Structures are given as C-alpha cells and as structure tokens.
A and B are shown apart, each in its own frame.
Chain A
Amino acid sequence: QVLLQESGPALVKPSQTLSLTCTVSGASISSESSYWNWIRQPAGKRLEWIGRISFTASTNYNPSLRRRVTMSVDMSKNQFSLELNSVTAADTAIYFCAREEFFGSYLIDWGQGTLVTVSS
C-alpha cells in the first residue's frame, strides 16, 4: 500500500514562499514509471493540478503557476517538495500530493491533504 503524507506550515504570510513536503512510504520515489504530483483545492472550488516531478527531477508545471512554482525530489528521504513563491490569499487551499501511475495518466494514490492559509 502506497501512502503519501504532506507536511509544512499551515499559515504563510502574503508575498512569502509556501513550502510543503510529501513523504512517500510503500513505494520508492526512484520508480522509473511513477510521477509525483501536487494538486490543490481552494474551498468550494475544483481541484487544480500544480505540477509533477519524476525521480530524475524532470518537471512539468501548470502554465498558470509556472513562474512561481519549484518542485524537487530527495531520494535519500523518499520525499518530494513544493515551493510556491509570492503567495496571495488566492493561494489559500488544501494542498494534496499524489502519485501518477505513469507519465500522462491518472492519480492513483493521494495524501490526506494539508490546509495552507495565506494571511498576515
């Protein structure tokens, strides 16, 4: 069973950087087929795909967020991370990490999600 767990600050000030980490168990982040994703869900709104990263650190970012997003992997800790800079209240959302079974596919495993609020 693959488990993913998000961690990071619940509160971020406007204009600062949101940083989250996803710890994976039950699967290796160095899997050649899996891709590791971040998705967010503002209250009452639809899910929004932020981006994905492979174990080789190859990334794809949503064009709407590309200028502010950076993802990375840490194979020694079986983790991957998200940084979103210059945040505003519009970035307040539940952030999920998820595993994509293979490139360009569906999201087969999800973390429980973590609420990040942007407020001063």
Chain B
Amino acid sequence: EIVMTQSPATLSVSPGERATLSCRASQSVSTNLAWYQQKPGQAPRLLIYDSSTRATNIPARFSGSGSGTEFTLTISSLQPEDFAVYHCHQFDKWPGTFGPGTKVDIK
C-alpha cells in the first residue's frame, strides 16, 4: 500500500496570503493525485485531480503541481472560506490512499 504524507500538519496563514501545502508518496504515483478540501462536519470536496487539473467550479486561486512522489497545492490568496483541512489522495494503485491532511487556519 502506498503511504501518503503531508506537511505541515497545520499551516497558519493570514487572509490574502499565499499557502503552500506539500504531499509526498512512498512510491511514484505518476500524476494520479487528487486534492480535497474538507470543512468541519462536511464531506470532502474535490479541488484538483491528475495533479494539476482544477475540478469544476474551483476558483483559479487553487493550483496543483508535481509528479512522481512530490506534489504541491498552492492557494494564491487565501479567502475566509478557504480555512479548512486539505487531503491528498493517490489513485495510481489500488487501494487508493489518503494523506493525514493539512489544516489551514487563520493566523
């Protein structure tokens, strides 16, 4: 099973600032990597798939990059509604596995 790690565990950012989240896979997953946003009491929402493709209706301030084992999610200018937990997910090998999440909170 591919193990996903994320850093940092918590990221404190002021509104309007840039946030950079990292995700690492224990072996190559090519670009078969997705990012989800999850707010308390809500289901995860797909943000990015195939490492860098924004899902439908996702604002352009969200961008993804990376391939192989190293991936990055960037939020260019944090809005109040962006404070949440972000999960990465590899779907290259069955079973798909998730990272532990990065919590983005208000500084």
Contacts and interface: CB of A to CB of B under 8 A. Distances in A.
Interface of A: 45-49, 60, 62-64, 96, 98, 104-108, 110-113
Given A111-B43, A112-B42, A112-B43, A106 B91 contact: yes
Given A46-B87, A62-B95, A112-B43, A106 B34 contact: yes
B74 interface: no
A111 B100 CA distance: 20
Contacts, number: 51
B106 interface: no
A108 B46 contact: yes
* Secondary structure class of chain B's binding surface, majority of residues: loop
B49 A48 contact: no
* Secondary structure class of chain A's binding surface, majority of residues: loop
Interface residues of B, number: 24
Nearest to B50: A106
A106 B58 CA distance: 15
A47 B45 contact: no
A105 B91 contact: yes
Nearest to A65: B95
B99 A46 contact: yes
Interface string B29-56: 0001010100000111110011000010
Contacts of B50: 106
A96 B44 CA distance: 9
Interface of B: 1, 4, 32, 34, 36, 42-46, 49-50, 55, 87, 89, 91, 94-101
A47 B36 CA distance: 11
A63 B95 contact: yes
A66 B14 CA distance: 44
A23 to B, nearest CB: 15
The 6 closest A-B pairs by CB, nearest first: A110-B43, A106-B34, A47-B98, A106-B49, A62-B95, A46-B100
Contacts of B95: 49, 60, 62-64
